[in-house]
Amino acid sequence: MSFLNAQTLRELAIGLQMTVLLIVLSAPLGLAVGCVVAWTGVYAPLPLRWGSHIYRSALRGTPLLVQLFLLYYGLPRFGFVLSPLTAAVLGFSLCSGAYHAEYLRAALLSIPESQFEAARALGLSRRSALLRVVFPQALRRALPGCTNEVVYLVKYSSLAYLVTLVELTGAGRLIAYRTFRFFEVFLIVGVIYLMLVAVVAAGAAWVERRVALERTPEPGVMRDRPIGRPSGHGASLRRRRRVQNMS
Amino acid sequence: MLGVPVGIGHRYGNRVLRTFLWVFDRLFRGFPVIVLLFLFYFGLGGLPGIRIPPFTAAVLALGLRSAAYQGQVFRGALGMVEHGQEEAARALGMHRGQTLLWILLPQAFRFSLPALANEYAVVLKDSALAFVVGVVELMSAGRFMATRNRDPLTAYLAVALLYWILTSGGVAVLRLLEHRTRIPGLGLERLRR
Protein backbone atom coordinates (compact mmCIF):
# COMPACT_ATOMS: atom_id res chain seq x y z
CA MET A 1 0.00 0.00 0.00
CA SER A 2 2.96 2.27 -0.60
CA PHE A 3 0.97 4.41 -3.00
CA LEU A 4 -1.22 5.58 -0.13
CA ASN A 5 0.96 8.55 0.81
CA ALA A 6 -0.12 11.98 1.96
CA GLN A 7 -0.42 13.34 -1.56
CA THR A 8 -2.75 10.67 -2.93
CA LEU A 9 -4.85 10.85 0.20
CA ARG A 10 -5.17 14.60 -0.25
CA GLU A 11 -6.19 14.11 -3.88
CA LEU A 12 -8.81 11.56 -2.88
CA ALA A 13 -10.12 13.93 -0.20
CA ILE A 14 -10.47 16.76 -2.75
CA GLY A 15 -12.24 14.38 -5.08
CA LEU A 16 -14.56 13.28 -2.30
CA GLN A 17 -15.36 16.92 -1.52
CA MET A 18 -16.35 17.50 -5.14
CA THR A 19 -18.54 14.38 -5.14
CA VAL A 20 -20.28 15.47 -1.95
CA LEU A 21 -20.77 18.97 -3.39
CA LEU A 22 -22.33 17.44 -6.51
CA ILE A 23 -24.76 15.38 -4.46
CA VAL A 24 -25.65 18.17 -2.05
CA LEU A 25 -26.45 20.48 -4.98
CA SER A 26 -28.18 17.98 -7.27
CA ALA A 27 -30.34 16.03 -4.83
CA PRO A 28 -32.59 18.91 -3.65
CA LEU A 29 -32.66 20.47 -7.13
CA GLY A 30 -33.66 17.12 -8.60
CA LEU A 31 -36.44 16.74 -6.05
CA ALA A 32 -37.68 20.24 -6.85
CA VAL A 33 -37.71 19.48 -10.58
CA GLY A 34 -39.50 16.23 -9.79
CA CYS A 35 -42.21 18.02 -7.78
CA VAL A 36 -42.89 20.51 -10.57
CA VAL A 37 -42.92 17.87 -13.31
CA ALA A 38 -45.13 15.52 -11.30
CA TRP A 39 -47.53 18.35 -10.49
CA THR A 40 -47.86 19.38 -14.14
CA GLY A 41 -48.17 15.72 -15.09
CA VAL A 42 -51.26 15.25 -12.94
CA TYR A 43 -53.05 18.57 -12.44
CA ALA A 44 -52.02 20.90 -15.25
CA PRO A 45 -54.12 21.42 -18.40
CA LEU A 46 -53.74 18.84 -21.13
CA PRO A 47 -50.92 20.24 -23.33
CA LEU A 48 -48.75 20.78 -20.26
CA ARG A 49 -49.50 17.25 -19.14
CA TRP A 50 -48.22 15.97 -22.48
CA GLY A 51 -45.12 18.07 -21.99
CA SER A 52 -44.54 16.44 -18.62
CA HIS A 53 -45.00 13.00 -20.17
CA ILE A 54 -42.53 13.72 -22.98
CA TYR A 55 -40.02 15.09 -20.48
CA ARG A 56 -40.23 12.00 -18.29
CA SER A 57 -40.11 9.59 -21.20
CA ALA A 58 -37.16 11.32 -22.85
CA LEU A 59 -35.01 11.66 -19.75
CA ARG A 60 -35.74 8.19 -18.45
CA GLY A 61 -35.29 6.59 -21.87
CA THR A 62 -31.82 7.90 -22.63
CA PRO A 63 -28.58 7.26 -20.74
CA LEU A 64 -27.55 9.96 -18.29
CA LEU A 65 -24.17 10.01 -19.98
CA VAL A 66 -25.71 11.06 -23.30
CA GLN A 67 -27.61 13.83 -21.52
CA LEU A 68 -24.43 15.08 -19.89
CA PHE A 69 -22.61 15.07 -23.22
CA LEU A 70 -25.46 16.97 -24.83
CA LEU A 71 -25.29 19.62 -22.12
CA TYR A 72 -21.53 19.90 -22.03
CA TYR A 73 -20.51 19.36 -25.66
CA GLY A 74 -23.78 20.08 -27.45
CA LEU A 75 -24.99 23.33 -25.92
CA PRO A 76 -21.96 25.47 -26.86
CA ARG A 77 -23.40 25.40 -30.39
CA PHE A 78 -26.13 27.75 -29.13
CA GLY A 79 -23.65 29.86 -27.25
CA PHE A 80 -24.24 28.33 -23.82
CA VAL A 81 -20.86 27.26 -22.56
CA LEU A 82 -21.32 25.50 -19.24
CA SER A 83 -18.57 24.81 -16.77
CA PRO A 84 -18.13 21.11 -15.97
CA LEU A 85 -19.67 21.58 -12.53
CA THR A 86 -22.72 23.43 -13.87
CA ALA A 87 -23.22 20.88 -16.63
CA ALA A 88 -22.97 17.99 -14.18
CA VAL A 89 -25.32 19.51 -11.59
CA LEU A 90 -27.81 20.51 -14.29
CA GLY A 91 -27.68 17.06 -15.91
CA PHE A 92 -28.07 15.21 -12.62
CA SER A 93 -30.94 17.44 -11.44
CA LEU A 94 -32.87 17.20 -14.70
CA CYS A 95 -32.42 13.43 -14.96
CA SER A 96 -33.13 12.51 -11.36
CA GLY A 97 -36.02 14.99 -11.48
CA ALA A 98 -37.63 12.82 -14.15
CA TYR A 99 -37.36 9.75 -11.90
CA HIS A 100 -38.59 11.64 -8.82
CA ALA A 101 -41.50 12.89 -10.92
CA GLU A 102 -42.47 9.34 -11.82
CA TYR A 103 -42.57 8.24 -8.17
CA LEU A 104 -44.43 11.39 -7.11
CA ARG A 105 -46.94 11.10 -9.93
CA ALA A 106 -47.78 7.54 -8.95
CA ALA A 107 -48.13 8.66 -5.33
CA LEU A 108 -50.36 11.61 -6.27
CA LEU A 109 -52.62 9.31 -8.25
CA SER A 110 -52.77 6.83 -5.37
CA ILE A 111 -54.22 9.33 -2.88
CA PRO A 112 -57.97 8.63 -2.65
CA GLU A 113 -60.23 11.20 -4.28
CA SER A 114 -62.17 11.48 -1.04
CA GLN A 115 -59.26 13.29 0.61
CA PHE A 116 -59.56 16.06 -1.92
CA GLU A 117 -63.34 16.13 -1.65
CA ALA A 118 -63.21 16.28 2.13
CA ALA A 119 -60.77 19.18 1.99
CA ARG A 120 -63.02 21.01 -0.48
CA ALA A 121 -66.03 20.36 1.74
CA LEU A 122 -64.17 21.94 4.64
CA GLY A 123 -63.86 25.11 2.57
CA LEU A 124 -60.32 24.90 1.23
CA SER A 125 -59.74 26.25 -2.22
CA ARG A 126 -58.78 23.80 -4.96
CA ARG A 127 -55.19 24.92 -4.85
CA SER A 128 -54.71 24.72 -1.12
CA ALA A 129 -56.60 21.42 -0.93
CA LEU A 130 -54.08 19.94 -3.36
CA LEU A 131 -51.11 21.70 -1.84
CA ARG A 132 -51.89 21.16 1.84
CA VAL A 133 -53.84 17.92 1.91
CA VAL A 134 -53.08 15.77 -1.12
CA PHE A 135 -49.46 16.69 -1.80
CA PRO A 136 -48.00 16.05 1.69
CA GLN A 137 -49.57 12.60 1.73
CA ALA A 138 -48.22 11.84 -1.73
CA LEU A 139 -44.76 13.03 -0.71
CA ARG A 140 -44.84 10.63 2.20
CA ARG A 141 -45.83 7.74 -0.05
CA ALA A 142 -43.22 8.57 -2.66
CA LEU A 143 -40.46 8.87 -0.09
CA PRO A 144 -38.99 5.33 -0.36
CA GLY A 145 -38.73 5.68 -4.15
CA CYS A 146 -37.24 9.14 -3.90
CA THR A 147 -34.58 8.19 -1.36
CA ASN A 148 -33.71 5.24 -3.58
CA GLU A 149 -33.23 7.71 -6.40
CA VAL A 150 -30.85 9.77 -4.26
CA VAL A 151 -28.81 6.61 -3.62
CA TYR A 152 -28.63 6.11 -7.39
CA LEU A 153 -27.56 9.72 -7.73
CA VAL A 154 -24.61 9.10 -5.41
CA LYS A 155 -23.39 6.30 -7.64
CA TYR A 156 -24.11 8.10 -10.91
CA SER A 157 -22.28 11.20 -9.73
CA SER A 158 -19.22 9.25 -10.90
CA LEU A 159 -20.24 10.10 -14.47
CA ALA A 160 -19.26 13.71 -13.86
CA TYR A 161 -15.63 12.81 -14.45
CA LEU A 162 -16.52 12.13 -18.11
CA VAL A 163 -17.34 15.82 -18.53
CA THR A 164 -13.86 16.54 -17.16
CA LEU A 165 -14.90 17.29 -13.58
CA VAL A 166 -12.32 15.84 -11.18
CA GLU A 167 -14.41 14.22 -8.48
CA LEU A 168 -13.83 10.97 -6.60
CA THR A 169 -13.65 8.69 -9.65
CA GLY A 170 -11.62 11.22 -11.61
CA ALA A 171 -9.17 11.62 -8.74
CA GLY A 172 -8.92 7.84 -8.43
CA ARG A 173 -8.18 7.57 -12.13
CA LEU A 174 -5.41 10.14 -11.98
CA ILE A 175 -3.79 8.34 -9.05
CA ALA A 176 -4.19 4.97 -10.76
CA TYR A 177 -2.53 6.16 -13.96
CA ARG A 178 0.38 7.61 -12.02
CA THR A 179 0.98 4.64 -9.73
CA PHE A 180 -0.29 1.79 -11.93
CA ARG A 181 -2.15 0.39 -8.93
CA PHE A 182 -5.49 0.22 -10.72
CA PHE A 183 -7.05 -2.57 -8.70
CA GLU A 184 -6.22 -1.18 -5.27
CA VAL A 185 -7.11 2.42 -6.11
CA PHE A 186 -10.50 1.60 -7.62
CA LEU A 187 -11.29 -0.78 -4.78
CA ILE A 188 -10.68 2.05 -2.33
CA VAL A 189 -12.76 4.45 -4.44
CA GLY A 190 -15.54 1.85 -4.55
CA VAL A 191 -15.47 1.40 -0.79
CA ILE A 192 -15.72 5.18 -0.32
CA TYR A 193 -18.81 5.21 -2.55
CA LEU A 194 -20.20 2.33 -0.52
CA MET A 195 -19.78 4.37 2.64
CA LEU A 196 -21.41 7.41 1.02
CA VAL A 197 -24.35 5.22 0.02
CA ALA A 198 -24.58 3.87 3.57
CA VAL A 199 -24.65 7.41 4.98
CA VAL A 200 -27.36 8.49 2.55
CA ALA A 201 -29.39 5.35 3.24
CA ALA A 202 -29.16 5.90 6.99
CA GLY A 203 -30.24 9.51 6.54
CA ALA A 204 -33.14 8.39 4.38
CA ALA A 205 -34.24 5.85 6.98
CA TRP A 206 -34.12 8.58 9.61
CA VAL A 207 -36.29 10.90 7.51
CA GLU A 208 -38.73 8.09 6.82
CA ARG A 209 -39.06 7.29 10.52
CA ARG A 210 -39.40 10.97 11.28
CA VAL A 211 -42.32 11.61 8.95
CA ALA A 212 -44.03 8.25 9.46
CA LEU A 213 -47.62 8.53 10.56
CA GLU A 214 -49.01 6.43 13.31
CA ARG A 215 -50.59 3.64 11.39
CA THR A 216 -54.36 3.83 11.41
CA PRO A 217 -55.54 0.63 13.07
CA GLU A 218 -57.64 -1.70 10.97
CA PRO A 219 -60.77 -2.99 12.68
CA GLY A 220 -60.05 -6.34 14.26
CA VAL A 221 -56.31 -5.92 14.31
CA MET A 222 -56.29 -3.77 17.41
CA ARG A 223 -58.65 -5.81 19.47
CA ASP A 224 -56.08 -7.78 21.43
CA ARG A 225 -54.23 -4.63 22.45
CA PRO A 226 -55.27 -2.53 25.44
CA ILE A 227 -57.16 0.51 24.30
CA GLY A 228 -55.50 3.85 24.77
CA ARG A 229 -51.91 2.75 24.46
CA PRO A 230 -50.07 4.22 21.49
CA SER A 231 -49.59 1.52 18.90
CA GLY A 232 -47.55 3.50 16.41
CA HIS A 233 -43.81 3.57 16.13
CA GLY A 234 -41.26 6.13 15.15
CA ALA A 235 -41.62 9.86 15.39
CA SER A 236 -45.19 10.11 16.56
CA LEU A 237 -44.49 7.74 19.41
CA ARG A 238 -41.35 9.57 20.38
CA ARG A 239 -43.08 12.92 20.22
CA ARG A 240 -45.79 11.61 22.44
CA ARG A 241 -43.26 10.38 24.98
CA ARG A 242 -41.58 13.74 24.97
CA VAL A 243 -44.87 15.44 25.64
CA GLN A 244 -45.55 13.05 28.51
CA ASN A 245 -42.14 13.71 30.01
CA MET A 246 -42.68 17.41 29.86
CA SER A 247 -46.01 17.36 31.58
CA MET B 1 -30.29 -14.76 -15.83
CA LEU B 2 -27.76 -15.31 -13.07
CA GLY B 3 -30.21 -13.42 -10.92
CA VAL B 4 -32.42 -16.49 -10.42
CA PRO B 5 -29.83 -18.60 -8.56
CA VAL B 6 -28.71 -15.50 -6.65
CA GLY B 7 -32.27 -14.87 -5.51
CA ILE B 8 -32.79 -18.49 -4.50
CA GLY B 9 -29.49 -18.41 -2.62
CA HIS B 10 -30.55 -15.27 -0.76
CA ARG B 11 -33.73 -16.93 0.34
CA TYR B 12 -32.85 -20.57 0.89
CA GLY B 13 -29.06 -20.71 1.15
CA ASN B 14 -27.18 -21.68 4.28
CA ARG B 15 -25.21 -19.16 6.29
CA VAL B 16 -21.92 -19.39 4.36
CA LEU B 17 -23.65 -18.90 1.03
CA ARG B 18 -25.72 -16.05 2.39
CA THR B 19 -22.68 -14.25 3.78
CA PHE B 20 -20.91 -14.64 0.46
CA LEU B 21 -23.95 -13.32 -1.38
CA TRP B 22 -24.21 -10.40 1.04
CA VAL B 23 -20.66 -9.32 0.16
CA PHE B 24 -21.37 -9.88 -3.54
CA ASP B 25 -24.53 -7.80 -3.22
CA ARG B 26 -22.83 -4.90 -1.42
CA LEU B 27 -19.96 -4.90 -3.89
CA PHE B 28 -21.99 -4.90 -7.08
CA ARG B 29 -24.93 -2.78 -5.97
CA GLY B 30 -22.92 -0.30 -3.93
CA PHE B 31 -20.14 0.54 -6.41
CA PRO B 32 -20.81 2.90 -9.32
CA VAL B 33 -20.77 1.26 -12.75
CA ILE B 34 -17.70 3.16 -13.87
CA VAL B 35 -15.72 2.02 -10.86
CA LEU B 36 -16.75 -1.59 -11.57
CA LEU B 37 -15.72 -1.25 -15.20
CA PHE B 38 -12.34 0.15 -14.19
CA LEU B 39 -11.89 -2.58 -11.60
CA PHE B 40 -12.55 -5.31 -14.15
CA TYR B 41 -10.68 -3.82 -17.07
CA PHE B 42 -7.67 -2.08 -15.55
CA GLY B 43 -7.73 -3.82 -12.18
CA LEU B 44 -8.07 -7.48 -13.11
CA GLY B 45 -6.49 -6.95 -16.51
CA GLY B 46 -3.49 -5.35 -14.82
CA LEU B 47 -2.77 -8.33 -12.58
CA PRO B 48 0.10 -10.45 -13.91
CA GLY B 49 -0.91 -13.28 -16.22
CA ILE B 50 -4.48 -12.10 -16.81
CA ARG B 51 -5.53 -10.40 -20.02
CA ILE B 52 -9.10 -9.25 -20.37
CA PRO B 53 -10.30 -7.74 -23.64
CA PRO B 54 -12.50 -4.64 -23.16
CA PHE B 55 -15.65 -6.37 -24.32
CA THR B 56 -15.30 -9.25 -21.84
CA ALA B 57 -14.55 -6.84 -19.02
CA ALA B 58 -17.63 -4.77 -19.84
CA VAL B 59 -19.87 -7.83 -20.11
CA LEU B 60 -18.56 -9.20 -16.80
CA ALA B 61 -18.99 -5.91 -14.95
CA LEU B 62 -22.45 -5.12 -16.32
CA GLY B 63 -23.62 -8.75 -16.13
CA LEU B 64 -22.56 -9.38 -12.54
CA ARG B 65 -23.99 -6.05 -11.45
CA SER B 66 -27.27 -6.84 -13.10
CA ALA B 67 -27.22 -10.27 -11.45
CA ALA B 68 -26.94 -8.60 -8.05
CA TYR B 69 -29.96 -6.40 -8.78
CA GLN B 70 -31.98 -9.24 -10.29
CA GLY B 71 -31.14 -11.37 -7.27
CA GLN B 72 -32.85 -8.80 -5.08
CA VAL B 73 -35.83 -8.72 -7.41
CA PHE B 74 -36.19 -12.50 -7.29
CA ARG B 75 -35.77 -12.60 -3.56
CA GLY B 76 -38.68 -10.22 -3.23
CA ALA B 77 -40.73 -12.10 -5.81
CA LEU B 78 -40.21 -15.44 -4.06
CA GLY B 79 -41.36 -13.81 -0.86
CA MET B 80 -44.54 -12.64 -2.56
CA VAL B 81 -45.71 -16.15 -3.48
CA GLU B 82 -48.24 -17.18 -0.92
CA HIS B 83 -47.01 -19.56 1.75
CA GLY B 84 -49.94 -21.92 1.18
CA GLN B 85 -48.64 -22.67 -2.31
CA GLU B 86 -45.48 -24.18 -0.94
CA GLU B 87 -47.31 -26.13 1.75
CA ALA B 88 -49.82 -27.48 -0.74
CA ALA B 89 -47.06 -28.66 -3.07
CA ARG B 90 -45.25 -30.38 -0.21
CA ALA B 91 -48.51 -31.99 0.93
CA LEU B 92 -48.95 -33.39 -2.58
CA GLY B 93 -45.64 -35.23 -2.15
CA MET B 94 -43.26 -32.99 -4.09
CA HIS B 95 -39.84 -32.58 -2.57
CA ARG B 96 -38.27 -29.18 -1.98
CA GLY B 97 -36.51 -28.96 -5.34
CA GLN B 98 -39.64 -29.88 -7.25
CA THR B 99 -41.70 -27.40 -5.27
CA LEU B 100 -39.24 -24.66 -6.06
CA LEU B 101 -38.96 -25.51 -9.76
CA TRP B 102 -42.60 -26.18 -10.63
CA ILE B 103 -44.62 -24.18 -8.13
CA LEU B 104 -42.66 -21.26 -6.72
CA LEU B 105 -40.43 -20.18 -9.60
CA PRO B 106 -43.14 -19.84 -12.27
CA GLN B 107 -45.17 -17.64 -9.97
CA ALA B 108 -42.18 -15.66 -8.74
CA PHE B 109 -41.16 -15.06 -12.34
CA ARG B 110 -44.51 -13.45 -13.08
CA PHE B 111 -44.20 -11.20 -10.04
CA SER B 112 -40.73 -10.12 -11.03
CA LEU B 113 -41.49 -9.20 -14.66
CA PRO B 114 -42.23 -5.50 -14.08
CA ALA B 115 -39.03 -5.08 -12.09
CA LEU B 116 -37.08 -7.01 -14.70
CA ALA B 117 -38.34 -4.67 -17.41
CA ASN B 118 -36.99 -1.83 -15.32
CA GLU B 119 -33.69 -3.60 -14.91
CA TYR B 120 -33.47 -4.15 -18.67
CA ALA B 121 -33.76 -0.40 -19.22
CA VAL B 122 -31.09 0.29 -16.61
CA VAL B 123 -28.61 -2.17 -18.11
CA LEU B 124 -29.21 -0.84 -21.59
CA LYS B 125 -28.50 2.70 -20.50
CA ASP B 126 -25.47 1.69 -18.45
CA SER B 127 -24.03 -0.11 -21.45
CA ALA B 128 -23.30 3.39 -22.75
CA LEU B 129 -20.54 3.51 -20.17
CA ALA B 130 -18.69 0.60 -21.73
CA PHE B 131 -16.97 3.05 -24.04
CA VAL B 132 -14.75 4.27 -21.20
CA VAL B 133 -12.88 0.95 -21.34
CA GLY B 134 -12.73 1.09 -25.12
CA VAL B 135 -15.65 -1.01 -26.34
CA VAL B 136 -16.95 0.33 -29.64
CA GLU B 137 -20.69 0.68 -29.13
CA LEU B 138 -23.41 3.21 -29.82
CA MET B 139 -21.96 5.84 -27.53
CA SER B 140 -18.42 5.71 -28.88
CA ALA B 141 -19.78 5.69 -32.42
CA GLY B 142 -21.60 8.89 -31.49
CA ARG B 143 -18.41 10.35 -30.06
CA PHE B 144 -16.56 9.48 -33.24
CA MET B 145 -19.26 11.16 -35.31
CA ALA B 146 -19.19 14.20 -33.02
CA THR B 147 -15.46 14.73 -33.41
CA ARG B 148 -15.40 14.05 -37.14
CA ASN B 149 -18.21 16.42 -38.08
CA ARG B 150 -17.46 18.89 -35.29
CA ASP B 151 -21.16 18.78 -34.48
CA PRO B 152 -21.63 17.15 -31.09
CA LEU B 153 -25.21 18.35 -30.73
CA THR B 154 -26.67 16.44 -33.69
CA ALA B 155 -24.52 13.39 -33.04
CA TYR B 156 -25.56 13.03 -29.40
CA LEU B 157 -29.19 13.83 -30.19
CA ALA B 158 -29.17 10.97 -32.69
CA VAL B 159 -27.59 8.67 -30.13
CA ALA B 160 -30.16 9.72 -27.53
CA LEU B 161 -33.00 9.00 -29.97
CA LEU B 162 -31.63 5.52 -30.71
CA TYR B 163 -31.30 4.71 -27.01
CA TRP B 164 -34.80 6.00 -26.41
CA ILE B 165 -36.20 3.72 -29.13
CA LEU B 166 -34.31 0.74 -27.69
CA THR B 167 -35.49 1.30 -24.12
CA SER B 168 -39.11 2.10 -24.85
CA GLY B 169 -39.34 -0.69 -27.44
CA GLY B 170 -37.84 -3.26 -25.09
CA VAL B 171 -39.98 -2.21 -22.16
CA ALA B 172 -43.11 -2.36 -24.35
CA VAL B 173 -42.25 -5.93 -25.43
CA LEU B 174 -41.71 -6.99 -21.81
CA ARG B 175 -45.02 -5.42 -20.82
CA LEU B 176 -46.69 -7.46 -23.53
CA LEU B 177 -45.07 -10.58 -22.11
CA GLU B 178 -46.31 -9.60 -18.67
CA HIS B 179 -49.81 -9.31 -20.08
CA ARG B 180 -49.60 -12.66 -21.86
CA THR B 181 -48.40 -14.69 -18.89
CA ARG B 182 -50.83 -13.20 -16.42
CA ILE B 183 -53.09 -15.55 -14.49
CA PRO B 184 -56.34 -13.88 -13.46
CA GLY B 185 -56.73 -13.85 -9.70
CA LEU B 186 -53.13 -14.74 -8.93
CA GLY B 187 -51.48 -11.49 -9.97
CA LEU B 188 -50.60 -8.39 -8.07
CA GLU B 189 -54.23 -7.32 -7.83
CA ARG B 190 -54.63 -9.95 -5.13
CA LEU B 191 -52.34 -7.93 -2.88
CA ARG B 192 -54.06 -4.66 -3.56
CA ARG B 193 -57.47 -5.93 -2.49
Q: Where are the domains of chain B?
A: 3-192
Q: Which of B43, B163, B168 minimises the CB distance to A186? A: B43
User: For the domain that residue A53 is a member of, what is the CATH number?
Assistant: 1.10.3720.10
Which residues, given as ranges, of chain B have pLDDT below 70? Answer: 1-5, 7, 9-14, 45-50, 184-193
Residue A118 lies in a domain: yes
DSSP conformational letter for A44: S
Q: What is the mean pLDDT of residues A34-54?
A: 90
Q: What is the mean pLDDT of residues A121-127?
A: 91
Domain count, chain A: 1
Q: Quick one: what percent of chain A has pLDDT higher than 90?
A: 32
Q: Cα separations (Å) of A126 from A101, A115, B181?
A: 21, 12, 42
Residue A4 lies in a domain: no
Residues of A in contact with B143 (CB under 8 A): 69
Residue A188 lies in a domain: no
Residue A41 lies in a domain: yes
Which of A 212-231 lie inside 8 A of B, CB atoms? none
Q: How far apart are CA B6 and CA A104, in angstroms?
A: 31
Provide the whole-model pTM: 0.78
Residue A86 lies in a domain: yes
How sure is the predictor about A219, in pLDDT bands with cuts at 50, 70 and 90? very low
Residue A49 lies in a domain: yes
Residue A238 lies in a domain: no
pLDDT at B190: 52
B24 touches chain A (CB under 8 A): no
Tell whether domain B3-192 is in CATH 1.10.3720.10: yes
B34 touches chain A (CB under 8 A): yes
How sure is the predictor about A23, in pLDDT bands with cuts at 50, 70 and 90? very high
With b meaning 16 or more CB within 10 Å and e meaning fewer, what string describes A42-63?
beeeeeeeeebeebbeebbbbb
A60 touches chain B (CB under 8 A): yes
pLDDT at A104: 93
pLDDT at A202: 92
Query: Residue B126 half-sphere exposure, CB side, CA atoms within 13 Å?
Result: 24
ipTM of model: 0.75
Helix, strand, coil percent content, chain B, rounded in steps of 5: 80, 0, 20
Residue B4 makes CB contacts below 8 A (sequence gap 6+) with: B70, B74, B105
pLDDT at A28: 93
pLDDT at B155: 83
Q: What range does the domain containing A143 cover?
A: 14-169
